[in-house]
Amino acid sequence: MRSNFKPIMLVAGILLSALLTEAQADQTKEQKLFLAAEKALKSNKIQEFRNIQSKLSHYPLASYLEFEYLSKNLTLANRKTIDDFIRIQKDSPLASRLKFRYLNRLASQKHYGLFSHYFKDSFDTSKNAKLKCLYLRHQLQQGIKTSKVYPEVTKLWTVAKSQPKECDPLFEKWKKAGQLKNNVVFTRFDKAARKGSLSMIKYLKKKLPKKQQYLADLWTSVRKNPGVIAKRKFFPQKDFKYQEAAIAVFAIKKLAWGDRDAAQKVWNSVKRRIAMPKELLNDAERTLFLAMATENKPRAHKWAKRNINRYLKDDLISHWKLATFLRKEDWRSIKEQYDLLDESIQKKNQWRYWYAIASENGGNKTAAKAILELLAKQRDYYGYKAATKLQQPLLLNHQTTVIDSKTLSAVTNLSNVERAKELFALERYQDANREWRSLQKRLKTPQEFQAAAKIAHDWGWYNQGILTIAKAKVWDDTDIRFPTAFKQEYQIMGKKVGLEPEWLMGVTRQESAYGPFAVSGAGAYGLMQVLPSTAKIYSRKLGVKYSGRKDLFNPDTNIEMGSNYLKLRFDELENNPIYASAAYNAGKHRIEKWKPFGRFPTEVWIEAIPYTETRDYIKKVMTYRAIYALKLGKKDTVFEYILNTETGG
């Protein structure tokens, strides 16, 4: 239920205090002591803290108590204790977290020698510009050769944004040493011109040679208004013609996603007026085609046919050529394009399916059927379409993961697993996820990953089970990959709102991978990834009790909210399950925007959904819906709908 398109990134959510109270009755004696120790430390009752801590020496989370104590006492006097903790806890995320906290404390207290001692092993992987600058400053003070230090300073300086003030003394010394050469300035200027602020462009303009400074003015104008390139004398075509062409392409790529036809006219004019290197010409043409194709502009089909033997390794261009040909029922061009593709691409189910359909429409039904028969044996979107077309049953292809007891026991007893189990039980999901990520660095064989996935699944940590078994590349254990948790709740809610429970479960599988406490990068919560803002707006309209975002961690509330919202979109959008699912992902307003691009067979409309995320989302949700129907012992007809209806227009 999201309206922005940042790839979903699942992060841990933490149940708030109102939900913790309910779980306290089930806490073990050790868990209660652990919480009491935390409370004592927070209140600075150190003696009480130490007394409780002594009773938990063998408790898996004892290290978390010591971590919190040391975090409050990052002194030079405690250096040996801190070192010992980092060494002993090397397999725990706590080691790097404590080290980072100690680094910052040492830096703030200007203990640069000791700071550098701890930071040197982290320098290459660190993305912290402040710490890197402090380290390099100390390196110079210690007499380290500038030939080793200055290349790293150059990397820090040549970024699109301003760096922390701690870098200023380092940059000044670097500049005085003659390192601020014209090519270095231009490298940073080029990055800032494309992605930085206008103030950064203005700042760097003064550092460019005089004859290049006009480029900063061009970039500033284009960043404010890309359409300015339509002016006949905008590009003076001076000494830096390649850079002027790059500015033109940057602008046209911005314009392309607005008024497509107007952008094309501007481009036709610009490329006649200024010198345009081939690689930049191709870059602009590529974007213009994608923009034209997403809105089904007539020019897209002509371009796709004219360039059928080009951009063959560009997956996105290849997809939109296919979608363009499908809209025109240009079966001959689909077959021609298929024959030009690399064998690795030809083997993809999407291309095999559409090549079969093109062959069938070209009169070669025998070849088409042979391909479809093979696809129909597979558990995926195109396999299910092929099976439905051939009137064959959809296959689950389940294979239970068999894990030997020795491997299962070994993984279960790993310290990360023991800590993650306790953290999960205490609803410390962020810390549990950190432990699980550290665990995965220790696992070496597919069998160990399978064991970890089974362990997480058995705890009810379904999303982690799904993600972990994927690391083992085990695709056919549908018990772990497609859990049926909350099955009764989905069945009850499906009957209540009038939607198939397998559809609701399919949405959940795609949205959160069955994580009740999942939080997306866009701020959506829980099983069906409901945005708090959406819940607030629609709770009264949908008749769902809602008092705040913490409610969305409650599976019952989340399922009720998400199901009602999906039903609302279904009712508003012509009872079309494809529209409703797409609206759940992209927002209703985008469906209304896409409708005018034309009416097509539903399976073609899906291939031509303008947003890659939403297009993939629909394919997955429909596939997962069919899988859950099989697991529920039901007959679902969504693939008949996809093959036998029209959508759009």
By annotation, the residues acting in catalysis are 511
Contacts of residue 377, defined as CB under 8 A and 6 or more positions apart, other chains included, come to: 383, 395, 397
Task: Round to whole Å and give the CA distance between 225 and 251.
Answer: 8
Helix (H, G, I), strand (E, B) or coil at 615: helix
DSSP state of 341: S
Tokens standing for residue 198: 């206008």
DSSP state of 514: S
Question: How many CB atoms are closer than 10 A to CB 224?
Answer: 10
Start-to-end C-alpha separation, the chain = 24
Tokens standing for residue 533: 């803002």
Sign of CA dihedral 323, 261, 252, 586: negative
Q: Is-contact 164 129, C-beta < 8 A?
A: yes
Q: Is 245 exposed, middle or buried (0-12, 13-18, 19+ CB in 10 A)?
A: buried
Q: Which candidate, 549, 589, 552, 546, places its Cα nearest to that of 569?
A: 589
For 43, the enclosing helix (H) or strand (E) is none
In single-letter form, the type of residue at position 331 comes to W
CA distances from 231 to 193, 269, 297 (A): 20, 10, 25
Q: Is 440 exposed, middle or buried (0-12, 13-18, 19+ CB in 10 A)?
A: middle
Contacts of residue 444, defined as CB under 8 A and 6 or more positions apart, other chains included, come to: none
Q: What angle do CA 382, 388, 392 make, to 5 degrees?
A: 115
The two beta strands, 646-648 and 599-601, are antiparallel
Task: Round to whole Å and give the CA distance between 576 and 555.
Answer: 26
Residues of the chain by 3-state class (helix, strand, coil), percent to 5: 70, 0, 30
